[in-house]
Amino acid sequence: MRVLAWDTSTPFPSVAILEDKRVLAETNLDIGLKHSSHLIPVIDELLKMTGMKLEDIDIIGATIGPGSFTGIRVGLATAKALCFALNIGFSPVISLDALALKEKESQKLIAAIDAKKGEVFMAEYRKGQRIWGPYNTPIEELWMRGPALFIGDGASRFRELIEKNLGEGARFSERSLFIAAETGKLAFDKVTQGKVVAPDKIFPLYLRASDAEIKKWGK
């Protein structure tokens, strides 16, 4: 099964093509949250690298959140359009789950994405299994749920505070924060479990209202 997967939920956008769980090609972009103008060109480039056409793709997998509101919207709008055009299904992946897959053997892992405003999107894992979250919480929750191994830009941003509160109980993953490959692997797993959705059932996982929505409701 050929999987086209991407992540646009974080400042580390990436795209990958997989054959089942084997990564055939992957591109990681160090461009921050500038996803809209890069996603389609990168997909096209990866297809050329692998000698494939869009019609060769069997399933599309992408992160549905939590993370950047704009990035998620761009990623899911693209997924919906391609799934409709190709008449294929969509495999939704939680961004924190993809991060956690990088350290799936960890006895206790905290995956955290920076949510700004002194908050993080986070979840806790044991041996790759999510046991808590995902939630949008104040940063204090990071060390309150420790000691643990931490991964994600939410953890790295507040590393000093975590270390101050947990001391030697705070460990930090050295793995890359690009997660398209992990997204593709989890997407494939969902296909084998029958957890595929139709294009009109593609929905984001925001965990909190966007700034625009807050301003609108506050009027």
pLDDT of residue 198: 96
pLDDT of residue 215: 45
Q: Can the peptide bond before residue 13 be classed as cis, meaning omega within 30 degrees of 0? A: no
Identify whether the C-beta of residue 28 lies closer than 8 Å to the C-beta of residue 169: no
Closest CA relative to residue 39, chosen from 50, 49, 27, 51:
27
pLDDT in tens, 208-218: 765 444 344 44
Distance CA 101, CA 96 (A): 9
Low-confidence ranges of the chain (pLDDT < 50): 211-219
All CATH 3.30.420.40 domain ranges of the chain, comma separated, are 2-95+177-218, 103-172
pLDDT of residue 216: 41
Q: Which two tokens mark 145?
A: 């749920």
Could you say which architecture CATH assigns to the domain 2-95+177-218? 2-Layer Sandwich (3.30)
DSSP secondary structure code for residue 21 in this structure: T
Distance CA 87, CA 51 (A): 21
Query: Both ends of the chain: CA-CA distance in Å?
Result: 49
Identify whether the C-beta of residue 18 lies closer than 8 Å to the C-beta of residue 56: no
Q: What 3-state DSSP class applies to 149? A: strand
pLDDT of residue 214: 35
pLDDT of residue 38: 87
What is the third-level CATH fold of 103-172?
A: Nucleotidyltransferase; domain 5 (3.30.420)
pLDDT of residue 54: 96
Please tell me the pTM assigned to this model.
Answer: 0.93
Q: Which amino acid is at 130?
A: R
pLDDT of residue 212: 46
State how far Cα 112 lies from the chain centre: 11
Distance CA 175, CA 166 (A): 21
Identify whether the C-beta of residue 54 lies closer than 8 Å to the C-beta of residue 47: yes
pLDDT of residue 30: 78
pLDDT of residue 88: 97
